Homo-oligomer: A and B are copies of this chain.
Amino acid sequence: MSHTPGVRQAQKRKTRQALLDAALGLLEEQSLSSLGLREVTRAVGVAPTAFYRHFRSTADLGVALVEEALGSLHPMIRTTVSPTEDSDERIARAVELIAGHVAAHPAHVRFIARERHGGVQPVREAIREQLARFAEEVKAELAKDAVSAGWSDADLRMLAGLYVDQMLITASLFLEALEAVEAPEEERRRAARTAARQLRLISIGRAHWLD
């Protein structure tokens, strides 16, 4: 075993990931600005000082969590917005995609919703940057659509921003449904119907924008 290179590196990655996972778990019930370094290491089972081998501070860890939560989402964005099928069909699929993501990664979604306007500046900035990238990508997809013919750059940007904000609102809605004490499944369906309606209204506004 001592001949395999990278054993040390692999172990380090593992500890780092354990710190990220533990922090994400603790952040379900508090915000980053009150998260203690000792809390995190205690949850992992390492000495408090081990934290410094991986992150400068909890704010630094938060920035890493932003990357983990949003970095892998870009491919999904593209496929959601890309203009293919019937509008109502596409909306239903987009809403279900969001619902599925929230169900699969509730802690990540909560973290982003919470820290987007939270008390830690570098984390807010990291989220802002990722969402700006999303908006750029959505805009690029929208531009390909025939419906967008004749749209100004500013109008496309506005619509892309509206879609990104709506995506976050919908995700928050599903998260609240997940947390509902009674009848969470009914809450989930209600959230899906509301989200679909809102996207449909935006879609209609889009179709008549240049009237």
**Interface residues, chain A, with chain B CB atoms under 8 Å away:** 27, 29-31, 33-34, 110, 113-114, 116-119, 154-155, 157-159, 161-162, 165, 169, 172, 193-194, 197-198, 201-209, 211
Contacts and interface: CB of A to CB of B under 8 A. Distances in A.
A190 B45 CA distance: 49
A29 B119 contact: yes
B154 A193 contact: yes
Contact of A201 (B27, B29, B162): B162
B119 A159 contact: no
B169 A165 contact: yes
Contact of A209 (B33, B34, B204): B204
Contacts of A116: 117
A197 B31 contact: no
Q: Which 5 pairs across A and B sit closest by C-beta, in order of nearness?
A: A205-B205, A31-B119, A34-B34, A201-B205, A30-B119
Contact of A204 (B165, B197, B205): B205
A31 B118 contact: yes
Contacts of A169: 165
Contacts of A110: 117
A172 B211 CA distance: 30
A194 B158 contact: yes
Given A169-B165, A197-B154, A203 B204 contact: no
Contacts of A204: 204-205, 208-209, 211
A158 B194 CA distance: 6
Contacts of A202: 201-202, 205
A172 B30 contact: no
A48 to B, nearest CB: 19
A122 to B, nearest CB: 13
B119 A117 contact: no
Contacts of A203: 205
Contacts of A201: 158-159, 162, 202, 205-206, 209
